[in-house]
Each structure stands twice: as C-alpha cells, then as structure tokens.
C-alpha cells in the first residue's frame, strides 16, 4: 500500500472514532464513547502496520518525508 493512501485511511479512521465519541457525548451513551476510543486506537495500529518503508520496514511518521530516516532510500508516496 502506498504511504499517502495509508495515511489517508488512518485519518479517516481517526476522524470516524472522534465522530463516534462526539455522538456518544451528545446522547450520553458511555458505551459509544468507549467504542470511539477503540476506533481511534485501532487507527494507530493501522498506521503502525502500513506506514512502513518498503526497503527496510522502518516506521514512517510523516508522508512529507522524501527519504526514509532509517535507511535513506527515496520514498514513494
Ligand atoms: Zn527505509
């Protein structure tokens, strides 16, 4: 998976989780708030799994990085 696409999906999951928490707060449903946190948490796991350098498998935090900070190879985003 391309880095930019992975980061976009991470953002969508994060935003979805945040929306669920907000709805939970609005309708005062604690279960929904917990669910939102679980969704947000899973976005970090997704990020950790897919935001990787294709050469050395090092973690890439920002899509703006042009080169891998771990091995120095050029990144395809
Ligand atoms: Zn690398």
Per-residue pLDDT of the chain (77 residues; tens, 9 = 90+): 889 999 999 999 999 999 999 999 999 999 999 999 999 999 999 999 999 999 999 999 998 999 999 999 999 87
Nearest to 64 by CA among 46, 51, 45: 51
**Contact at 8 Å (CB) between 53 and 74?**
no
Alpha helix positions (H), 1-77: 3-26, 30-50
Helix (H) or strand (E) holding 75: none
Predicted local distance difference test score (pLDDT) of residue 76? 81
pLDDT for 57: 94
8's tokens: 């976009």
What was the pLDDT predicted at 77?
A: 76
- Residue 3 CA, ligand 1 centroid: distance in Å: 13
pLDDT of residue 1: 82
Question: How far, in Å, from the CA of 60 to the mean position of ligand 1?
Answer: 8
């Amino acid at each position: 998976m391309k880095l930019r696409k992975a980061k976009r999906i991470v953002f969508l999951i994060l935003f979805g989780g945040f929306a669920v928490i907000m709805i939970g707060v609005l309708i005062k449903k604690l279960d929904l708030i917990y669910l939102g946190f679980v969704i947000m948490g899973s976005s970090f796991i997704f990020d950790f799994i897919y935001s990787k350098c294709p050469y050395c498998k090092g973690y890439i935090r920002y899509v703006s990085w042009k080169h891998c900070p771990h091995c120095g190879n050029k990144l395809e985003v």
